[in-house]
Amino acid sequence: MNNPTVLEVVTPSFSPLYQQIKALILQSLKAGKWKPGEPIPSEMDLAARFRVSQGTVRKAIDELASENLVVRRQGKGTFVATHAEHQVQYRFLKLVPDVGDTDAEGPAQRTIVDCKRQRASADVARALALRTGDSVLKVRRVLAYAGIPTILEDLWLPGTPFKGLTAERLRASRGPMYALFETEFGVHMVRAKEKIRAVLPDALQSKLLDVPAGMPLLSVERVAHTYNDAPMELRRGLYRTDTHHYRNELG
Amino acid sequence: MNNPTVLEVVTPSFSPLYQQIKALILQSLKAGKWKPGEPIPSEMDLAARFRVSQGTVRKAIDELASENLVVRRQGKGTFVATHAEHQVQYRFLKLVPDVGDTDAEGPAQRTIVDCKRQRASADVARALALRTGDSVLKVRRVLAYAGIPTILEDLWLPGTPFKGLTAERLRASRGPMYALFETEFGVHMVRAKEKIRAVLPDALQSKLLDVPAGMPLLSVERVAHTYNDAPMELRRGLYRTDTHHYRNELG
DNA sequence: CAGTGGTCTAGACCACTGG
DNA sequence: CAGTGGTCTAGACCACTGC
């Protein structure tokens, strides 16, 4: 009767009220009941709706806030998190210049190299939870700082949710790509996982980044997820790390 | 009268009670009043001492727990966090095998290549908040998985707190190095910052890792801090990323 | 000023651990 | 069983925002 691989040997059989409230709010977020940037109902309001005390709603919202799904602003309200605010330009980009800081460096110059529809290869399909051969959008772009190409990115997006995305549309947009996804396609990335390696560029890559073929680069493979933890983007980045570095904080 | 670089233009002039309580507990932690692995007083106990309600102590401890300084265990108590428990072998090491998981891979085979006292160079001194020429300990070691050398690490430690650390002592210890630091030298690392780059190894490095000179490697420079945010270790790691990768989660 | 999130309390009860 | 952390409540008051 032992079951070593399953964590919950007995039924969970207990879920705190605030977790249930959290799940309900989360459901509304997923359903798009409140749009990114908009306020959600006040704590008192939600407490009244769910027939619980303010403290219980508060704890639910606390967790959502700590997961960056929602932002609290004292005196104003609680707002659905968004990538479309000038706050931090790129929330998931951890590459910073060796000298000075990201602010001093200013925004990147972005060049869309390519944007086309194609069929998902096996590994792309697996990363995006699609089937091999499903339609995906592939984007390739270069980010430059002070005129120096620094990042080369390949992106794959599932075809259906991103129907209508074109190179022109990408070139026309200002601000983070994730902001565009949010406002134009209703896709809000909330979490991401990265796998980082050191690699050498192939001929085309070294040409696009204007670096020698023998220069080691950081390979950053990112899968970004939307609310339901559904993977909605696969991104493979090549970073120059002779003038910049990937910064990580461990707690 | 303007002061653009300072955040608090006006005085802070307000600090919640629970923050003050948190600071008091933190002070006891720094002072080593309770040792890693030991329980701190119960919430009720602390509440009585500080003449506040349980809820206020609770919120203080909540923050300490979320910073991994303390671990809560329902029914048992709240314990000072420690690196010396089999839980997670290496809390700050984010390199994982491409196939299988860290558990399946098992513990690393560790080889201390070198351990000697030397004078701090300018950059080492800066990282450790020492003066150039101050005495530091330098350790070099190799970690291997399944017999394959995978990580080459250079460590610099300030000489004074780590007086008495020798290669023999390192070789004799089992478990994480941070556990040894904790039990033998009373130094508990709580936070760390990493700068990650892609590099090529020099001749000696490629020999120690048994990789070709042209193989790109991940360079991970870590500064680990103890309670007061004092830097207590500089570590430069070279990771093979042909069989492993650095895994990071973004929220 | 009213409305929001943020703090604090006192007390009740629940879930888990160990003797 | 007593003691621990974990949940929940109801109500008071504080700090901040905007009108």
- Strands B191-199 and A39-40, by their bridges, are unpaired
A251 belongs to a structural domain: no
A215 belongs to a structural domain: yes
Q: Are A226 and A187 in contact (CB under 8 A)?
A: yes
Burial grade of A64 (CB within 10 A; 0-12, 13-18, 19 or more) = buried
A107 belongs to a structural domain: yes
B1 belongs to a structural domain: no
- Per the structure, the complete domain to which residue A46 belongs is given by 6-80
Task: Say if residue B34 is in the same domain as residue B145.
Answer: no
Mutual orientation of helices B54-66 and B17-30 as an angle, nearest 10°? 60
> Tell me: the pLDDT tens digits for B4-47?
333 334 455 679 999 999 999 999 999 999 999 999 999 999 99
User: Nearest-CA neighbor of B241 among B217, B221, B211?
Assistant: B217
Quick one: pLDDT at residue B34? 96
Half-sphere exposure for A147 (CA within 13 Å, toward CB) = 0
B205 belongs to a structural domain: yes
Last residue of a domain, one of B80, B109, B135: B80
pTM value?
0.91
Q: Which residues of chain A make contact with B246, given a CB cutoff of 8 A?
A: 195-197
Task: Say if residue B31 is in the same domain as residue B50.
Answer: yes
Distance, first Cα to last Cα, chain B: 39
> Tell me: the pLDDT tens digits for A60-76?
999 999 999 999 999 99
DSSP classification of residue B204: H
Nearest chain A Cα to B224, which residue? A250
The verdict on a CB contact (< 8 Å) between B249 and A216 is no
Written as one string, the DSSP assignment of B24-70 is HHHHHHHTTSS-TTSEEPPHHHHHHHHTS-HHHHHHHHHHHHHTTSE
Measure the CA–CA gap between B54 and A200, rounded to whole angstroms: 57
Nearest chain A Cα to B200, which residue? A216
The verdict on a CB contact (< 8 Å) between A246 and B197 is yes
pLDDT reading at A55 higher than 80: yes
Task: Say if residue B47 is in the same domain as residue B157.
Answer: no
Cβ neighbours around A236 below 10 Å, total: 17
For residue B100, what pLDDT band results from cuts at 50, 70 and 90? confident
Distance, first Cα to last Cα, chain A: 39
B109 belongs to a structural domain: yes
| Minimum-distance nucleotide, CA of B74 to C1' | D5
Task: Say if residue A65 is in the same domain as residue A121.
Answer: no
Q: Are A240 and A217 in contact (CB under 8 A)?
A: yes
Task: Say if residue B118 is in the same domain as residue B94.
Answer: yes
pLDDT reading at B59 higher than 60: yes
pLDDT reading at A10 higher than 70: no
Least confident of A34-48, A97-111, B69-83, B233-247: A97-111
B251 belongs to a structural domain: no
Q: Which of the pair, B7 or A116, is modelled with greater confidence?
A: A116
Looking at every residue in chain B, the average pLDDT score rounds to: 92
Task: Say if residue A111 is in the same domain as residue A216.
Answer: yes
Last residue of a domain, one of B31, B54, B80: B80
pLDDT reading at A163 higher than 60: yes
Put the strands of the sheet holding B77-80 in their side by side order. B39-40, B77-80, B70-73
Quick one: pLDDT at residue B232? 97
Given A214, A245, A251, which is nearest B196 (Cβ)? A245
Positions in chain D where some atom is under 7 Å from a protein CB = 3-12, 15-18
Task: Say if residue A191 is in the same domain as residue A161.
Answer: yes
User: Nearest-CA neighbor of A193 among B150, B145, B245?
Assistant: B245
In the structure, how far is the CA atom of residue A22 from the C1' atom of nucleotide D15, in angstroms? 26
Task: Say if residue A210 is in the same domain as residue A91.
Answer: yes
Last residue of a domain, one of A46, A80, A114: A80
User: Nearest-CA neighbor of A177 among A119, A116, A93?
Assistant: A93
- Give me A79's structure tokens: 């707002």
CA dihedral for A235, B149, B217, A92, sign (positive or negative): positive
B158 belongs to a structural domain: yes
Half-sphere exposure for B156 (CA within 13 Å, toward CB) = 23
A178: three-class secondary structure by DSSP: helix
Task: Say if residue A67 is in the same domain as residue A113.
Answer: no
The verdict on a CB contact (< 8 Å) between B251 and A68 is yes
Task: Say if residue A174 is in the same domain as residue A209.
Answer: yes
Task: Say if residue B101 is in the same domain as residue B197.
Answer: yes
CATH number of the domain bearing residue A64: 1.10.10.10
User: Nearest-CA neighbor of B144 among B97, B107, B109?
Assistant: B109
Task: Say if residue B175 is in the same domain as residue B58.
Answer: no
- Give me A212's structure tokens: 């020698």
Q: What is the average per-residue pLDDT within A169-191?
A: 93
A184: three-class secondary structure by DSSP: helix
Q: Which residues contact B237 (CB under 8 A, 6 or more apart)?
A: B151, B152, B153, B154, B218, B219, B220, B221, B222
Quick one: pLDDT at residue A86? 65
Residue nearest to nucleotide D4 (CA to C1'): B75
CATH number of the domain bearing residue B233: 3.40.1410.10
Instruction: Tell if A72 CB is < 7 Å from nucleic strand C.
Output: yes
Q: How many domains does chain A have?
A: 2
